[in-house]
Every structure is written in C-alpha cells, then in structure tokens.
C-alpha cells in the first residue's frame, strides 16, 4: 500500500499527460480549444483549506454550479469509475467530511481527460473524422443529467454541447423543404439550452412549451430524444411528439437537417431512439402552444405507514378519472402536485374533492389555485420540489398500462408493489401522471416506446449508494432496486420502461425501452453510424457489457 500522504501529493496533471498527448493533433486542428478535464472536487484534494474547496463543498448539490463544468456530472457516481471506485468525489451527505481526500487520491475516473466545447458542425465533423481514423472513443455530454452514466465514457474524447445555448422564436416556422402553408409557431434551441431558460424565453414570447421538471435538464439532448415527459404531456404530448426539426451531424460526417421532409427516417429515429446514438444534435425546433391558464393542486400531509398506504389506494382508485379530467403531475406517498389546462377553478375543486377530503382529514395542507401560465407555475412550485443532485441514485421505473385499472386484482397488486416501497426512507414511489393520456398522436411518427400511448402512469423510484459503498453494498442496492421493480414489471408485463430513468441493469432493455420499434431503430443505427463511432449503455446498437468501454460498470448478476 502506498502511503496516503504520497498519494495526495501527486498532482492530477501527471495522471492526465499520457492520456491527453494522443489528442495533440486534434487540439492543433481545433485551434487549441480542447479542454483538459479537472474533476469538480479536485480543489478539495489539492488543498482542503482553500476557498475553491469551500465553494465546491457549499455547492456540492447545486445543479447550476455543476452544469457549467465539464468535470461534473449531476450524479457524481458517474464521475467515478463505478466498478473500481477511482474518482474524485466528496461525501455527499457531508461535503466537509475529510475522509475522501485523506484516504483516496483524485483520479479522472470515468470522465474524459479531454473535452471539446462544441461551437459548430465543423467541430463535430473533425471529431468524428479523428475518432474514425484513430479509434478514439467519443462521448457526448450536454448537462450530465443522465441517470445511467451515458454522458461519460472512460478514455473517450468528450463533445460537450453546453455552449450551444442560443434560443430563438419563430412566429411562422416552416420545416426546411416543406410548403409555406404547413407552418407552426416554434422555438429553436441550441443543443445546450436548458429548460429554465427555455421556459423563461417562451413566457416572454407569450407561448408555452412542453419540457422537463427541472431547471437544468437539457431541452434538446437525452430528454428530447428519449421521450421527454412533462406535467403537460397528458394534454399536449411528449417532447418527441412536438419536435419539428433537428440539425445533426451523423457519424458518417454529414451535417443533416432531419424533419418530416428530409431524412425522414432519421427524424423518426431521433424522436424516441435516445441520445448519444445517431449523431450529435446541434439544434432542435419545438412546437410552441399559446399561453395557458392552469389549475394547480398541491397537497401534503405527515404520513404514517397506514395513511401513506391509504393515500396510495385513493390515488389508484381515482387515477383514471383524474387523467380523464386533464390532470398531469407528480404523486408521492404523502403529497402531490398536479396541473390542469382544461378545467375552470370550480371544476378543479370538484375534481380534486376526494384528495382534499382525505388530506384535510389528516390536518394536511391543500392548495388549489389558478395560475396564469406554465412559467408562473414552474417558478412557484418546481424549485422547491425538484429532484436533488450531487447524490448517487440507482433508479427503477415502469410504465403502468391503463388497462389494469379496470381489474380489481391488478389494482390490489399495484398497491402491494407501492406499499413495499414505503418502509424504505429513500425509496419513495414517484407516480408520474405524465403519459400522453388525452393527446391524439400521429401514428408511426415517432420511435418512442409504444407503451407510453397506453399507459396511465410512469412510476419511478430511487435507492442510493453511499459515496464510498463497498462492492457488497453496491450489489445490495442493485438487488433492492431490482426486487422493488419486479412487482411493477409483473403487474404491467406488456408495457416497458422509460430509457432515461431506468434501472442500470434493466433486463431485455431493447424490448423494455423500444418495444416493436427496436429492429427498425437498429437498422437506422447501422445506416447512419456504419463504423460504430457512437455507443452508450443500453442504447440502440449497444455493444454489450463485455465491451471494454463499459469496464467501469460494476457487474450485476441477476
């Protein structure tokens, strides 16, 4: 064992030099714009008394801080080589805990040693040509929100889209190649734009867009290509339903416009086939809808196991009726927030009567109010309810088919599946009423998992691995997540799982994430990426866990 003192004296640059020299020619081609990665917590390993370290500690779970740094993922477990524990993280439960930097050295982990902040199509073309001729692996990072580590890849050159954050408004948008009389009101987003900025911009133009429930989730990356749900999805559709055009460099080096008129097969693939697979998107254009008045309901109460279970039963019993009324929202075991663009205030009060009666009887809180816009809702409710970053979650998810709600024994089975989560403090069942329940989609226009169309809910939950989990502890968490997910798979066997919020080891991921669309997606992957320059974990065309790219994913045998 080398002494701890010696380890802390080795600067990171030494670790990085060999790895980065292979990028020298590309760096020259790109005008010295290749960045050298510094893990976000490196200052604490360098000098834990420094102001820089203090800033990292204070902002460790701050997504705005993390999004602006290549060397940070939203979930730092992905900054590390998860299988070997090499990395440079802090103890997320107490970022001032000196254990990390006194017992470990700061290592690059799964992060790329070199990254390019992409500015143009030519940048991406240069990177593909370099990868093609040198065998260098590539990875694509936007915000780093991916829950299964798809935005990092050990030893790769990283293409970071963060700088492409332009947003523009088109009162009359005609997809390129189309006719002027088929036009839309739309917003065009650089690939790095994030939802808070997009919502604010849309509001300034008096329109509504459909996007994610977190200010820093990317608007054009993994979210948009993987499905993209919103509390407005029940009435306005998924992100993939509303995208009108992509601009993308495919791995064959061609800069393409993909819409219903040009590269229509690629357009189909990008509407659900997932990020990181068919090329690097530089820009997307999404449909804008007139400003909406929303009814908002927010309820919460202090739970016991019994009141939580009864609340979940009430939610199961009322779920179909609420979705028929136009509600979309996020439901937990002792609270929910939902929005509705279809009802008047009086209708909303009436529609939510069963929930308010239950919660008020427990002395809980019930707010039902009308707000003038989606942005007003987002600003008021989301920052206080958004998911935490900086932690090390392991998710499980399932879409729950609407058909089971007319079957009493299946409903009872679902309640048991939810109830099994209640005793675990961190395994809160999150019932997302965010499927396109009332939305009339265009058949075959998207490659998204078809089960979204027949589902009432998407259910997701997270367990956590500690920052320094042992191999046995990791396996325990994986087993727990799998065991809690299995009853959800059993109760809704013909649906599937949302690829963006899935268990790392979801069985038969291709069918679970894409259903019958998988074979055509795979054919298009081979068409646009003939040399296999892009690959990511459980993505279309995935090379498999044995591929050396995935040496940082722990094995899980179950």
Site for ligand NAG, rule CB under 6 A? 20, 23, 27, 32, 34, 36, 59, 62, 64-65, 91, 97, 99, 114, 128-129, 132, 166-168, 172, 180-181, 183, 206, 252-253, 290-291, 301-302, 317-318, 321, 351, 353-354, 362-364, 407, 409-410, 413, 443-444, 468, 470, 531
What are the strands, taking DSSP E only, across 26-166?
A: 34-36, 114-117, 138-141, 157-160
Question: Is 136:130 a contact under the CB 8 Å cutoff?
Answer: yes
Among 36, 66, 105, 150, binds ligand FAD (CB under 6 A): 150
Count residues near ligand FAD (CB under 6 A).
Answer: 34
Token readout for 226 is 């993987």
> Closest by alpha carbon to 371, among 231, 557, 277, 533?
231
Strand order in the sheet with 243-249: 167-173, 184-190, 280-287, 243-249, 255-258
Instruction: Choose from ligand NAG, ligand FAD, none: what does 214 bind? Cβ within 5-8 Å by kind.
Output: ligand FAD
Give the span between the Cα atoms of 52 and 69, in whole angstroms.
Answer: 14
Phi/psi of residue 218, nearest 5 degrees: -75, 145
User: Minimum Å distance from CB 191 to ligand FAD?
Assistant: 4
- Residue 326 burial class via C-beta count within 10 angstroms: exposed 0-12, middle 13-18, buried 19 and up: buried
User: Minimum Å distance from CB 507 to ligand NAG?
Assistant: 20
DSSP conformation class of 359 = H
**Is the backbone of residue 48 left (phi > 0), alpha (psi -120 to 50) or beta?**
alpha
Stretch that binds ligand FAD, among 40-48, 214-222, 370-378, 474-482 (CB under 6 A): 214-222
User: Minimum Å distance from CB 247 to ligand FAD?
Assistant: 10
Among 36, 141, 256, 271, binds ligand FAD (CB under 6 A): 141
Among 38, 66, 145, 398, binds ligand FAD (CB under 6 A): 145
**Is the backbone of residue 272 left (phi > 0), alpha (psi -120 to 50) or beta?**
left
User: Minimum Å distance from CB 99 to ligand FAD?
Assistant: 26
**H/E stretch holding 354:** helix 353-361
Give the span between the Cα atoms of 128 and 529, in whole angstroms.
Answer: 10
Nearer to ligand FAD, 150 or 525 (CB): 150
40 SS3 class: coil
DSSP conformation class of 143 = S
Question: Is 235:82 a contact under the CB 8 Å cutoff?
Answer: no
DSSP assignment of 57-111, as one string? HHTTT-HHHHHT-TT--SSGGGTSBTTTTBB----TT-TT-SHHHHHS-B--TTS
Nearer to ligand NAG, 437 or 550 (CB): 437
Stretch that binds ligand FAD, among 80-88, 226-234, 291-299, 472-480 (CB under 6 A): 226-234
Measure CA 499 to chain center.
9
Q: For residue 452, what are the contacts with CB-CB under 8 A and spacing of at least 6?
A: 227, 238, 399, 435, 436, 458
User: Minimum Å distance from CB 95 to ligand FAD?
Assistant: 19
User: Minimum Å distance from CB 345 to ligand FAD?
Assistant: 26
Among 90, 138, 174, 217, binds ligand FAD (CB under 6 A): 217
Instruction: Choose from ligand FAD, ligand NAG, none: what does 513 bind? Cβ within 5-8 Å by kind.
Output: none
Give the span between the Cα atoms of 325 and 347, in whole angstroms.
Answer: 9
Cα Dmax for the chain: 72
Write each residue from 70 to 109 as x if it is in contact with ligand FAD (CB under 6 A), else as -, in one continuous string: ----x-----------------------------------
> Closest by alpha carbon to 203, among 341, 375, 52?
375
| 61 in contact with ligand FAD (CB under 6 A) | no
| 147 in contact with ligand FAD (CB under 6 A) | yes
User: Minimum Å distance from CB 445 to ligand NAG?
Assistant: 9
Which residue has its beta carbon closest to ligand NAG? 253
Instruction: Choose from ligand FAD, ligand NAG, none: what does 306 bind? Cβ within 5-8 Å by kind.
Output: none
Nearer to ligand FAD, 140 or 451 (CB): 140
| 398 in contact with ligand FAD (CB under 6 A) | no
Residue bearing tokens 């915000």: 143
User: Minimum Å distance from CB 414 to ligand FAD?
Assistant: 22
Give the span between the Cα atoms of 400 and 459, in whole angstroms.
Answer: 7
| 228 in contact with ligand FAD (CB under 6 A) | yes
Give the span between the Cα atoms of 389 and 111, in whole angstroms.
Answer: 18
Among 43, 100, 190, 222, binds ligand FAD (CB under 6 A): 222
User: Minimum Å distance from CB 49 to ligand NAG?
Assistant: 19
Question: Is 543:526 a contact under the CB 8 Å cutoff?
Answer: no
Write each residue from 401 to 440 as x if it is in contact with ligand FAD (CB under 6 A), else as -, in one continuous string: ----------------------------------------
Among 20, 143, 235, 435, binds ligand FAD (CB under 6 A): 143
User: Minimum Å distance from CB 553 to ligand FAD?
Assistant: 14
Using CB under 6 A as the criterion, which residues of the chain lie in contact with ligand FAD when the complex forms? 74, 140-147, 150-151, 161, 191, 212-214, 217-218, 220-223, 226-229, 275-276, 280-281, 387, 500-501, 536
């Amino acid at each position: 064992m080398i002494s701890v003192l010696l380890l802390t004296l080795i600067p990171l640059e030494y670790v990085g030099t060999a790895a980065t020299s292979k990028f020298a020619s590309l760096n020259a081609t790109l005008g010295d714009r290749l960045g050298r990665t510094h893990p976000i917590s490196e200052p604490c390993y360098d000098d834990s008394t420094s102001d820089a370290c203090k800033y990292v500690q204070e902002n460790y779970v701050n997504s705005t801080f993390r999004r602006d740094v290549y060397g940070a993922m939203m979930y730092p477990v992905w900054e590390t080589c998860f299988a070997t524990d090499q990395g440079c993280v802090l103890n997320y439960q107490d970022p001032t805990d000196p254990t990390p930097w006194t017992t470990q050295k700061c290592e690059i982990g799964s992060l790329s040693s070199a990254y390019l902040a992409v500015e143009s199509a030519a940048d991406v073309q240069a990177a593909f040509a370099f990868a093609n001729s040198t065998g260098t692996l590539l990875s694509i990072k936007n915000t780093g929100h991916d829950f299964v580590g798809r935005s990092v890849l050990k030893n790769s050159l990283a293409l970071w889209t963060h700088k492409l954050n332009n947003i523009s408004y088109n009162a009359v948008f005609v997809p390129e190649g189309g006719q002027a009389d088929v036009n839309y009101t739309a917003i065009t987003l650089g690939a790095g734009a994030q939802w808070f900025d997009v919502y604010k911009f849309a509001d300034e133009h008096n329109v509504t867009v459909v996007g994610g429930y977190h200010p820093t989730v990317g608007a054009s990356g993994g979210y948009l290509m993987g499905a993209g749900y919103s509390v407005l999805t029940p009435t306005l559709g998924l992100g993939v339903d509303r995208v009108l055009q992509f601009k993308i460099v495919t791995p064959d080096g061609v800069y393409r416009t993909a819409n219903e008129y040009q590269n229509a097969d690629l357009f189909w693939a990008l509407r659900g086939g997932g990020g990181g697979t068919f090329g690097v998107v530089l820009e997307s254009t999404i449909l804008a809808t007139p400003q909406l008045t929303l009814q908002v309901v927010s309820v919460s109460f202090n739970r016991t196991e019994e009141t939580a279970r009864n609340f979940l039963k009430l939610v199961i019993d009322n779920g179909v009726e609420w979705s028929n009324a136009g509600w979309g929202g996020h439901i937990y075991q002792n609270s929910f927030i939902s929005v509705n663009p279809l009802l008047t205030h009086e209708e909303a009060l009436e529609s939510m009567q069963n929930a308010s009666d239950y919660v008020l009887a427990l002395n809980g809180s019930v707010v039902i109010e009308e707000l003038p816009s989606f942005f007003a809702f987002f600003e008021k409710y989301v920052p206080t309810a958004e998911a935490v970053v900086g932690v090390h979650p392991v998710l499980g998810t399932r879409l729950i088919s609407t058909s089971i709600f007319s079957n009493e024994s299946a409903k009872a089975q679902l309640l048991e599946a939810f109830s099994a989560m209640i005793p675990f403090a961190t395994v809160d069942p999150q019932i997302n009423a965010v499927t396109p329940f009332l939305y009339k989609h265009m058949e075959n226009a998207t490659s998204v998992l078809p089960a979204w169309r027949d589902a009432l809910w998407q259910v997701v939950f997270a367990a956590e691995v500690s920052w320094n989990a042992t191999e046995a502890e990791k396996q325990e968490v994986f087993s727990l997540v799998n065991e809690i997910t299995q009853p959800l798979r059993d109760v809704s066997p013909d649906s599937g799982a949302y690829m963006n919020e899935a268990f790392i080891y979801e069985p038969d991921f291709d069918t679970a994430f894409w259903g019958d669309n998988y074979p055509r997606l795979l054919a298009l992957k081979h068409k646009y990426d003939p040399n296999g320059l892009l690959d990511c974990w459980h993505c279309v065309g995935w090379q498999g866990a044995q591929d050396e790219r995935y040496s940082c994913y722990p094995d899980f045998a179950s």
